[in-house]
């Protein structure tokens, strides 16, 4: 394995760093709390985590072609090392997150749907905690684009993306693009999407 050079690219935009905010949000002295009905952040730890998820400026993403992935086809070593899709089996909330790196150009949209988590923002936090733990991806920035639910059934070869995130709001096109991302990465699945339900 080789280490990726830690050199900021020449024209890297100055962006706020969510590191400190996320570290504060993961402080064990205050567990993030959310309203089960509205998704609203109920305490400082929850508000800090939601703020971190939206702190980085959204960058233009290449348009999706039908059946194509949603990434810049020429990703560098940093973003190119990150799996685009990680979805657990069952019906679980998901987030779509735009990842960028100060070390290279390019934009990577990823989909994360982990088992055992209750709120959309927790999926974002687990993704970012994993990236921060690896030296090659520790400087990657993430911004939540949207979320909803994924009904993943690999045994039957089916996947349905639907709903929205109450915490992050409805994001037009998010379920459609998430389905395209999954389809491009999981050709073994019949992937459908809709904007129905929560």
Confidence category of residue 73, pLDDT binned at 50, 70, 90: low
Confidence category of residue 60, pLDDT binned at 50, 70, 90: low
Confidence category of residue 13, pLDDT binned at 50, 70, 90: very low
Residue-level pLDDT at 158: 98
- 5 has pLDDT over 70: no
- 63 has pLDDT over 90: no
Entry pTM: 0.78
| SS (HEC) of 74-118 | CCCHHHHCCCCEEECCEEEEEEEEEEEECCEEEEEEEEEECCCCC
- 22 has pLDDT over 50: no
For 136, half-sphere exposure in the C-beta direction (CA atoms, 13 angstrom radius) is 11
Average pLDDT, the chain: 82
Rounded distance, CA 143 to CA 15, Å?
12
pLDDT mean over 166-192? 95
Instruction: Say which residue the tokens 């733990």 belong to.
Output: 133
- 101 has pLDDT over 50: yes
Residue-level pLDDT at 75: 85
Minimal CA–CA distance to 43: which of 55, 54, 29, 57? Answer: 29
pLDDT mean over 105-110? 92
Residue-level pLDDT at 24: 40
Q: Is the distance from CB of 189 to CB of 154 less than 8 angstroms?
A: yes
Length of the chain, in residues: 198
Residue-level pLDDT at 193: 98
pLDDT mean over 31-41? 81
At 122 the three-state DSSP class reads helix
Query: DSSP class of residue 189?
Result: S
């Amino acid at each position: 394995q080789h280490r990726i050079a830690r050199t900021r690219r020449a024209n890297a935009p100055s962006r706020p760093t969510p590191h400190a905010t996320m570290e504060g949000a993961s402080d064990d002295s205050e567990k993030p709390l959310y309203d089960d009905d509205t998704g609203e952040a109920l305490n400082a730890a929850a508000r800090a985590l939601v703020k971190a998820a939206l702190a980085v400026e959204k960058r233009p993403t290449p348009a999706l072609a039908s059946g194509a992935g949603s990434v810049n086809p020429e990703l560098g070593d940093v973003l190119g090392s990150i799996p685009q899709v990680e979805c657990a089996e069952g019906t679980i909330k998901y987030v779509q997150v735009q990842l960028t790196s100060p070390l290279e150009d390019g934009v990577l949209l990823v989909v994360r749907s982990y088992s055992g988590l209750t709120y959309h923002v927790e999926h974002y936090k687990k993704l970012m905690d994993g990236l921060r733990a690896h030296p090659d991806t520790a400087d990657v920035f993430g911004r939540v684009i949207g979320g909803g639910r994924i009904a993943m059934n690999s045994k039957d070869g089916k996947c349905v993306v639907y709903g929205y995130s109450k915490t992050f709001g409805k994001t037009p096109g998010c379920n459609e693009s998430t389905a395209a991302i999954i389809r491009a990465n999981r050709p073994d699945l019949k992937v459908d999407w809709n904007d129905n339900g929560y």
